[in-house]
């Protein structure tokens, strides 16, 4: 897919996604939420919507400590395109590897992310994540 952004921005998006994966591996809810704006909107794989970095911290800390304890996740930039100055639409493919809980093993998801540039740094303003389901052939 088209990437009309500069190399510098793209590198920053990759760094943001790498930081999400690192925070996930540390089971660090606040570290995970640090990539988001203070008023960011998040819709998780259960279709639950919540708003704000504090809610994103709490919701992730809760799953890191319970159903996804000991899990790893990686986040890969699939595409990005500029919607306006300082507003980028991105798609992110994520892979969860969980030792147990409701989704043991590998779960693949696809996310729409909206990034905004604030104080010279990109942050995620909106993120929605959906489990990739392979329909029966």
Residues in CB range of 132: below 8 A, 6 or more apart: 108, 109, 110
Which residue blocks in 2-119 are alpha helix, DSSP H? 7-25, 29-33, 53-65
Position 118 contacts its own copies (CB under 8 A): no
Binding its own copies (rule: CB under 8 A), the pick from 10, 63, 91, 97 is 91
Position 105 contacts its own copies (CB under 8 A): no
How far is residue 32's CA from residue 27's CA, in Å, rounded to a whole number?
Answer: 9
Position 1 contacts its own copies (CB under 8 A): yes
Binding-residue pattern over the window 36 to 75 for its own copies, x denoting contact by CB under 8 A: ---x-x-xxxxxxx-x------------------------
Task: Give SS3 for 92.
Answer: strand
Neighbours of 23 (CB within 10 A): 20
Position 78 contacts its own copies (CB under 8 A): yes
Place of tokens 């300082």: 86
Interface residue list for its own copies (CB under 8 A): 1, 39, 41, 43-49, 51, 78-79, 81, 83-87, 89, 91, 108-112, 114, 116, 125-133, 135
């Amino acid at each position: 897919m088209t990437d009309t952004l500069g190399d510098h921005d793209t590198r920053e998006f990759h760094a943001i996604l790498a930081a999400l994966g690192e925070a996930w591996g540390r089971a660090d809810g606040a570290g995970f939420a640090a990539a988001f704006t203070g008023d960011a909107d998040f819709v998780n794989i259960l279709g639950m919507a919540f708003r704000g970095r504090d809610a994103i911290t709490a919701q992730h800390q809760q799953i890191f400590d319970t159903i996804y304890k000991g899990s790893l996740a990686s986040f890969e930039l699939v595409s990005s395109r500029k919607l306006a100055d300082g507003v980028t639409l991105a798609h992110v493919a994520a892979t969860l590897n969980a030792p147990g809980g409701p989704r043991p093993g590998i779960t693949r998801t696809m996310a729409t992310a909206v990034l905004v540039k604030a104080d010279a740094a990109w942050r995620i303003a909106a993120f929605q994540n959906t489990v990739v389901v392979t329909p029966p052939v």
